[in-house]
Structure 1
């Protein structure tokens, strides 16, 4: 039944692409499932409970959860399965304030994504967690909203796992806890309004990579011993955004001693002499997902303005950002673009223009370009003269370069509405096709 829906949806999308030159930037989860191996088991269509679906699954299966509220506790993930919700905001796993943990992941390479997980037992002495990863390797937790828990995600005796694109807020003890866990990747998450954002509880937890996260309005952003962990990704990639750090951005470069701003604060966080994060970001991070040529690319932006929509045009080799800012505001923008998607032969070959008043007024912007092996980083500023504006970033090469026919089919100019950046009080990204 699922495969039939996928086929029809793909045919409709291809028809729209061919007739209108429009390609949707984000695939639905059903299209994603078409690429998965194993059996797709649907909750509640095939099984009323998630735990029942896992019990009947085999390694390699996918468990698709329809939107709705599911009241389950101690869901033991003991098989190599992918558990995915159709919509992160509307697929809700609720512990009803009684769960000691809601998901207990003990299988290597298990994946949990696109869900809301909420409401453990609130007793702080019981250390209850929404998601616990225990004695497992290479686990992925992605695009999960965690709220109203004692501990959001508890990583215990687990290595080489990935926690990404999640929002964790309103936890009693901490958003993320690491205990006896090494070489994990915690990136591109928002941790807001927690007692402690990330708690590294022991000296045995080390070599964890924690960068490109937003730490916003936590009572304490980080608590950790002196074990070696990495809170930035080097220069020019940068570190994290810390809402309590009011540094200046007047310099650039690996040593932050070159004249010109770059979207990275000039001194490390929290102590410039002994920085935890050597390259703290000036503004919060927002991720944009571009689907083109059969691949999904991620662009990261860091700005004090609000991105309300964005589009990518492969034939014109342009990225368009539609932004809202206060009139008269001094706006700063840092954009990280994968070179596999869009690039220039020379760093100074990029063109950045801003369009005001229904595209009637165009201004070319000066910018600071940086690059590493994978990405180009463009930093630019402008004084905003109207509430709405369109920023066009033009490169020289789209990789892979498309043939004429492919370009006609894949010519993209899709608009996706996304949530504001700012304090991120609302749920994260919302997609509209």
Structure 2
């Protein structure tokens, strides 16, 4: 097994890293000062000017829309190459996304922020030419932002078949009613479109009754009821909204791919989206470990540097081991997606989706402990980062759902999962573990 990076992989990673180190880190103070000034002026929900200044610089250097995968020939409607972006593989993008994860506002500079990345991929793969011209082009140009409306407050949305928002045929169009929340991105004043998942056929099959539709945010009946906070952080100007949809009318051509094909689209969207979060989380963990080590080697307690206390040797060693294991699993999943497709890699995607956030949270917790009172304050970014990463144990499916899928994949090696208690299990597959 060859773990060496190709020249292309190394070059793309190093270009992103150099841009962050040379053009973004020196502006970190300006970014915070701008955010503070906006807050004082009551303009917290406006884009940070430092990010806006750096975007054209990144684009001019070809570091733009890095997430858009190579053209696969699998587009359902339009084979146009005009919207193909940088054309990095999942593995190539994983290396770049890890670097972006080290500075929490870096992704937007490269036009690689969620939920825009997943939404662009959906429109790119499933949209008509008209839908691409109207929404994908301005998203890829960084002219607008977007939101994804799936989760609902009144049902367990981890089971998407529970979703109740209705998308019903109404004459020559669609009538939408319902309530969504955790609609990330909806707080940004540049958010002009959302992809909404709802039930279009209440009597349809379990996975054939949902549809996805393109929803302009200025449509009559769309109301942002409130912005939600994450452990007290509102993540302005991105934000997470609770949105009510009251007799919202959309034209027939707003539907994506076709009525009843929402789950098909969701499976195409969530694979890359899940692993993108994990890629960035590796970078978050690296940054937390660096902050922890710098703090421990700079502070003295009880007559010696804190890092010389044996408990910290164990914690730092564990952090390094966990980061390396998580990175390898993430890169394996990305490589499988490239070589065999998202479906073949679903188990690896599920495993890294559970592993990466939990790994990063443990390291962040130790880093906070190393910083003492400063760790839980706003003087350092550790507390805010912990709160943000904690949401990833829910986003794109909670740990429990992914663990269930992983476990069922294991049990399937030894039994018939569809068999009822008391019925024969069927033959145990040959191979490793068959004789246990």
TM-score by length of 1: 0.23
Greater length-normalized contact order (CA 8 Å, ≥ 6 residues apart): 2
Compare the two structures and name the one with the higher strand fraction: 1
TM-score by length of 2: 0.23
